Structure 1
């Protein structure tokens, strides 16, 4: 259906209204290039995520099909969830923070894993999101947070235990 609102999100649909909002063609060109750079960045991260997912460790846990990986790319988590993983564990190789996310479903409650993580790594800052579908260690919103000391191998052991 050519009248579907989704077509409003195509790049050429943004340019015409911006002509009236911005003060010059140069400003319009700058804004357009910024949007295109953003799209390119997203595509590159998604392509990189495909390889990172392939290189990750896939296992069955109490939360279902789980992917554990050590990558910098946060997009790999979202991409893995879109590909059907029930839970994704990402350890950042540079700052050693850990992100654990599940599909947005109450049956994937991470409270038991949160309790395990606090016992296994009590000095680290762990945050269980109100949804119970995200368990986060380290945050740009909390500069005083302490990264996890757990290795990827140890994380695999912890999430594998029932």
Structure 2
């Protein structure tokens, strides 16, 4: 039986380390999670003396960082351990840490959190941060103060979702870079692309595009969004689209900043037959 050991009241770093081992090293998937006082080892054993027991964020072993002042954390050490382990199993696999950019980016955020750098985030007192991972984990520690395993189990599921979103984000960034068609509108610069990844809309807006267009190449649905505080008014474009494709289902949001054609929320909606270029031409010339 394999055992993963971490400290009581597990934090983001400790739980992420457990998550990495259980999700990305198959032989540790069913490992039991045990808890010790911070800095201690399981049953006072010599840390790393048993290959079936891994200590993370405690014990001063290979997956703990409290014995050094380096800019690292247990999750970073665990990620390196995983890459080295996989490389040893399959020496033909090219690369190491470059194999999973989403995972690396996730762990870098954990490292910043573990070194308390969130106090330097923009507007650190904003209530938005209380919807974030640190706040959620802190809340669980208050609710389940005597149930560290419950906190870990909830944390593993949460990190599954975060990792999936990181994968989607990296994919969206690549889609924009490779497929994005940039154009100008009277409200500012726009970008359009065909992809099944809806995250491209959000990424485009976060990177300065006033208007973002996505056409789903499989369902032909179209989403057009402009920045909420921009001067864009998509009403005229909406009316043109309705004339060009009368059979399609078009929806203009009450803000006049968004046009939707088709949605998984409305399975009865009809996708447009307009091409991406035709849609862009309307937005450019209006």
TM-score tier after normalising by the smaller chain length: 0.7 to 0.9
**C-alpha separation in 1, matches of 2:130 and 2:223:** 34
Q: Which residue of 2 aligns with 1:104?
A: 228
Q: Tell whether 2:144 aligns with 1:19.
A: yes
1:87-141: CA deviations, max 9, x gaps?
0010011111000000003611110110111011111000000011110011222
Q: Tell whether 2:216 aligns with 1:92.
A: yes
Q: Which residue of 2 aligns with 1:144?
A: 268
Query: 66-75 vs 150-159, which deviates more?
Result: 150-159
Query: 151-160 vs 82-91, which deviates more?
Result: 151-160
With normalisation by structure 1, the TM-score equals 0.86
Q: Provide the alpha-carbon RMSD of the alignment.
A: 2.4
Q: Which residue of 2 aligns with 1:30?
A: 153
1:8-52: CA deviations, max 9, x gaps?
7316424413526x9x76654432211101111111111111111
Answer 1 or 2: higher relative contact order, Cα 8 Å, separation at least 6. Answer: 1
With normalisation by structure 2, the TM-score equals 0.51
**C-alpha separation in 2, matches of 1:132 and 1:60:** 19
Q: What SS does the aligned partner of 2:268 have?
A: coil
Q: If you compute each CA radius of gyration, which structure gives the higher value, 1 or 2?
A: 2
Q: Which residue of 2 aligns with 1:54?
A: 177
The unaligned stretches of length 5 or more in structure 1 are: none
CA change 1:155–1:7 in 2 (3 A) is: closer
Instruction: Give the conservation status (yes or no) of the 8 Å contact 1:18–1:28.
Output: no
**C-alpha separation in 2, matches of 1:13 and 1:133:** 37
**C-alpha separation in 1, matches of 2:244 and 2:153:** 49
Q: Tell whether 2:192 aligns with 1:43.
A: no
Q: What SS does the aligned partner of 2:280 have?
A: helix
Q: Which residue of 2 aligns with 1:72?
A: 196
CA change 1:126–1:7 in 2 (3 A) is: closer
Instruction: Give the conservation status (yes or no) of the 8 Å contact 2:210–2:230.
Output: no
Instruction: Give the conservation status (yes or no) of the 8 Å contact 1:81–1:88.
Output: yes
Instruction: Give the conservation status (yes or no) of the 8 Å contact 2:187–2:230.
Output: no
Instruction: Give the conservation status (yes or no) of the 8 Å contact 1:110–1:133.
Output: yes
Q: What SS does the aligned partner of 2:189 have?
A: strand
Residue 79 (structure 1) shift: 0.8
Q: Tell whether 2:238 aligns with 1:114.
A: yes
Instruction: Give the conservation status (yes or no) of the 8 Å contact 1:106–1:132.
Output: no
Instruction: Give the conservation status (yes or no) of the 8 Å contact 1:113–1:159.
Output: yes
CA change 1:25–1:12 in 2 (3 A) is: closer
Instruction: Give the conservation status (yes or no) of the 8 Å contact 1:124–1:146.
Output: yes
